[in-house]
Amino acid sequence: MIGDLYNAILFQPLFNGLVFIYQYIPNLGIAIIILTLIIKLLLYIPSRSSIRSQKALQDAQPKLKALQEKYKDNKEELGRQIMKFYKENKVNPLSSCLPLLIQLPILIALYRVFIAVSQTDPTTHLLVADQLKHLYEPLQAIFATKPIDPMFLGIVDLSKKGNYILALLAGAAQFWQTKMVMAKKPPQVPGAQDERMTAGINKQMMYFMPIITVFFGIQFAAGLTLYWFVSTLFQVGQQWYVFHKDSAKQGIIKGEVQK
């Protein structure tokens, strides 16, 4: 029952969406890029909220550090004061996890989509019957006789694993995206050992996540790695836009207040 629901809600719409795009743009790589952009646009609102929460939490670090210094000998009171601060300033430290939680089932479904689209007859490149049945009826009739070419730019087989170039590009994009979030370092509080430890963990994550991205990018089909690369680039652009837009808005408000 859960599997059928998952297929109906995620796998089949994504599979049919990719094949539908391929019907009009018979280049699998471009079809994947277009599908990626559609998915990111649909997730734009929750992603934007998450980025703003990340920025708000980042901007709040000096005040949080002051609280940690003030109540460093009373952990229970420190916890209450931090929760009060989050509530008063409408900051949710867990909101940055929302896009990942939303994207994870999509990523799993896309993994299945790229497996499905690569399961073709080696001679005719037609979808095998087990995958053809997942298409909606109008597309079934078309792709019963229309082949799917997995090649992108004439050199990249998107159905194959082990594409090191795409994996490295995805890892570089992941590093860029993570570095943007951590670029604004809050002032250090003398003696704040916990904060130094947290900063060290964050710095490790900035390098750990790209390494993990490269590793899985090599292990998975190149089509999924291409999706992750384009998706991360979109996230970089969205972060830049939200950060600069909010900074400009704050500058305008600050100028009006000073007048």
Residue 193 predicted with pLDDT over 50: no
Measured CA to CA, the distance from residue 182 to residue 28 in angstroms comes to 35
Within 10 angstroms of residue 232's Cβ, the number of other Cβ atoms is 24
Q: What is the pTM of this model?
A: 0.74
In this prediction, residue 215 carries a pLDDT of 92
pLDDT range class, residue 164, cuts 50, 70, 90: very high
Structure tokens at 47: 């992603």
> Looking at residue 192, what is its pLDDT?
43
Domain-by-domain residue ranges, the chain?
2-258
User: Is a pLDDT exceeding 50 seen at residue 191?
Assistant: no
pLDDT tens, position by position, 32-84 = 999 999 988 888 777 766 677 666 666 677 777 788 787 777 788 878 888 88
Distance (Å, rounded) from C-alpha 250 to C-alpha 26? Answer: 46
Residue 6 pLDDT greater than 60, yes or no: yes
Mean pLDDT (whole number) for 232-257: 68
- Across the chain, mean pLDDT equals 79
- Give 242 or 169, the one with higher predicted confidence: 169
57 and 93 Cβ atoms separated by less than 8 Å:
yes
Closest CA to 162 of 216, 117, 201, 123: 216
Q: What angle do CA 181, 185, 188 make, to 5 degrees?
A: 150
pLDDT digits (tens, 9 = 90+) for 90-141: 666 665 566 666 678 888 888 888 888 888 888 888 999 989 999 999 999 9
Measure the CA–CA gap between 74 and 108, rounded to whole angstroms: 44
Q: Is the pLDDT of residue 24 over 90?
A: yes
Q: Answer yes or no: is pLDDT of 210 > 80.
A: yes
The DSSP annotation for 234-249 comes to HHHHHHHHHHHHHHHH
